Amino acid sequence: MESLLSSIKINVNPKVYLKDPESSELGQNIVSNSIILIQELGLEDFNFKKLAKCINSNESSIYRYFENKYKLLQYLSSLYWGILEYRVVIETNSIKDPVKRLFKALKIVTLKPENISSYSSLNQLKLRDIIISEFTKSYHNKHVDSDNDEGNFKIYKRLNLRIAEMIEGINPEYNYPKSLACQMVEGALHQHFMRSHFKTITEHKDDSDVYYFLKNILISVLNIKTNSK
Amino acid sequence: MESLLSSIKINVNPKVYLKDPESSELGQNIVSNSIILIQELGLEDFNFKKLAKCINSNESSIYRYFENKYKLLQYLSSLYWGILEYRVVIETNSIKDPVKRLFKALKIVTLKPENISSYSSLNQLKLRDIIISEFTKSYHNKHVDSDNDEGNFKIYKRLNLRIAEMIEGINPEYNYPKSLACQMVEGALHQHFMRSHFKTITEHKDDSDVYYFLKNILISVLNIKTNSK
DNA sequence: ACAAAATTAATAGTAATACTTTTATGCAGG
DNA sequence: CCTGCATAAAAGTATTACTATTAATTTTGT
């Protein structure tokens, strides 16, 4: 079986798993096939029994890796945000113009990856679908605060803060760089969901509209002079 | 028992319930006490058995009103957005300046109600808490599209469209009035949640910061000249 | 006022889920 | 060859979501 990430390793907080799924063939199968199954069934209809059957393994073996499916979702989310963070770091690295850097970061957060092969296997698109429809469930519950204290959302928050820093660099006068970054990242997910399911309250015809919509907000709010296209 | 709404009646789509809870004492108890219980336990730990016990009734009696707890959540959500829509309509009615009207609408969507007594019983604040932490679960699932087709999110979408119209009225040039409205309404919920649980990626110190943050986005994006405070 | 109809309560039961426990099997390292 | 660990297989428990049955109560029509 192919591993999810071919060239980079995301350091997921050890508290989200019981045993590191990277450490064994079975673990890697659990992760890569859970992406396929969750995307197919949705989180509510997905369970470890079905996953076990799908990888010719056993329910209780999966429980040795993850406490429950919500922890698995937190693991997958960490992978996703980790990949985006990695891309934001290396793909904006060479860009000197801070405005162009921010737009590049927004593009990464908003659009489908163009050159998937260089970062991971094909499942990245399915993982993105999962995040758009399921990420919210990884923190909208009664144990957010303890999960957060354990560091289970560290990568997500770090990505937000990187974007917040870019915003601050462009307009140090602006009062809400962190909230704005956070709103862009969330907006990317939400607008994609609205576009797919609540078409009457959106103008977006494709993914790139979501990008232009959010970019326009950044331009206006941060008072960016846009001479470049 | 007090009824949730003392002076107005929200027309919730009949498809979300099996029997109209407004039509009986028991139904009203189900609704008002579900607000208390869901807010207390969170949606995952809430079930009809516990609710039945809490109102000295029976599990199967509740099933005569709602198919399951997600439909009940859709009912509560409709109530919430219905109350906001009603308030937006009557409280902006007398305001002539379209900019001030939009800000008033944003205030209603973002802030706690000031004069609760005139619209409903005390539970409105708990209902707001529920919407902030649970509303997302009413549509992030595999049957969104059929629920949507049945009209279960009609009131929510109508509120969004009302705000979109105000936006359009202020700046007809702007390309994404619906998406922007949608982003404001979602942003209100999301920013409140972030403020309560992910404090490191937010600047907001209280509810009103969320309002100022979103208002500032509107001012910038719609190019509103702000001479008034 | 009374019979019929509908609602609700009480109880039990079913199917599925989430998770645990136990025991067995196979394989790797010393 | 033995020990230890990872996994597999199977069964078991607790809870949940929901249904069915029957009985008691209330409402309604006449």
**Chain A residues touching B218 at Cβ < 8 A:** none
Buried b (16+ CB within 10 A) or exposed e, B98-133: bbebbbbbbbbbbbebeeeeebbbebbebbbbbbbb
Q: So what's the pLDDT on residue B9?
A: 82
Q: So what's the pLDDT on residue A4?
A: 47
Give me the residue label for tokens 């990856």: A113
Question: Quick one: closest CA in A to B155, which residue?
Answer: A201
Residues 6 or more apart whose Cβ sits within 8 Å of residue A175: B203, B213, B216
Residue A38 domain flag: no
Question: Quick one: closest CA in A to B133, which residue?
Answer: A140
In the three-class reduction of DSSP (H, G, I as helix; E, B as strand; rest coil), residue B5 is classed as strand
* Model pLDDT for residues A141-174, shown as the tens digit of each residue: 999 999 999 999 999 999 999 999 999 999 999 9
Q: Domain containing A197 — which CATH number?
A: 1.10.357
CB B181 within 8 A of CB A201: yes
Question: Strand C contacts (CB < 7 A) among A residues 24-83?
Answer: 45, 47-49, 59-60, 63, 67-69
> Chain A, 131-190: which have a CB under 8 Å from a chain B CB?
133-134, 136-137, 139-142, 144-145, 148, 153, 157, 160-161, 164, 175-183, 186-187, 190
Residue A145 domain flag: yes
Q: Domain containing B46 — which CATH number?
A: 1.10.357.10
**Chain A residues touching B142 at Cβ < 8 A:** 41-42, 44-45
Has residue B14 got a pLDDT over 80?
yes
The mean per-residue pLDDT over the stretch A28-33 comes to 91
Q: So what's the pLDDT on residue A8?
A: 75
Of all residues in chain B, what percent carry a pLDDT higher than 90?
A: 82
Residue A25 domain flag: no
Q: What is the mean pLDDT of chain B?
A: 91
At residue A225 the predicted structure's pLDDT band, cuts being 50, 70 and 90, is confident
At residue B1 the predicted structure's pLDDT band, cuts being 50, 70 and 90, is very low
B68 touches chain A (CB under 8 A): no
At residue A220 the predicted structure's pLDDT band, cuts being 50, 70 and 90, is very high
CA of B24, C1' of D26: distance in angstroms: 12
Structure tokens at B189: 């919920």
Residue A171 domain flag: yes
The mean per-residue pLDDT over the stretch A208-223 comes to 98
Could you check: is the Cβ of residue B60 within 7 Å of any atom of nucleic acid strand C?
A: yes
A224 touches chain B (CB under 8 A): no
Residue A67 domain flag: no
Q: So what's the pLDDT on residue A48?
A: 93
Residue B228 domain flag: no
The mean per-residue pLDDT over the stretch A106-121 comes to 79
Residue B175 domain flag: yes
Chains A, B: CB contacts within 8 A come to 141
Could you check: is the Cβ of residue A171 within 7 Å of any atom of nucleic acid strand C?
A: no
Could you check: is the Cβ of residue B47 within 7 Å of any atom of nucleic acid strand C?
A: no
**Chain A residues touching B153 at Cβ < 8 A:** 198
Q: Do B190 and A204 touch (CB under 8 A)?
A: no
List the nucleotides on chain D closer than 7 A to a protein CB: 6-11, 16-21
Number of domain units in chain A: 1
Residues 6 or more apart whose Cβ sits within 8 Å of residue A117: none
Structure tokens at B8: 């107005």
Q: So what's the pLDDT on residue B6?
A: 55
Residues 6 or more apart whose Cβ sits within 8 Å of residue A5: A79, A83, A119, A120, A121
Question: Quick one: closest CA in A to B219, which residue?
Answer: A221
Question: Quick one: closest CA in B to A44, which residue?
Answer: B141
* A151 φ/ψ sector (left φ>0, alpha ψ -120 to 50, else beta): left
At residue B2 the predicted structure's pLDDT band, cuts being 50, 70 and 90, is very low
- The range of the structural domain enclosing residue B29 comes to 14-221
Report d(CA B9, CA A229) in Å as an integer: 51
Report d(CA B181, CA A16) in Å as an integer: 36
* Model pLDDT for residues A58-101, shown as the tens digit of each residue: 888 999 999 999 999 999 999 999 999 999 999 999 999 999 99
| Closest of B44, B45, B19 to residue B31, by C-alpha | B19
Residue B167 domain flag: yes
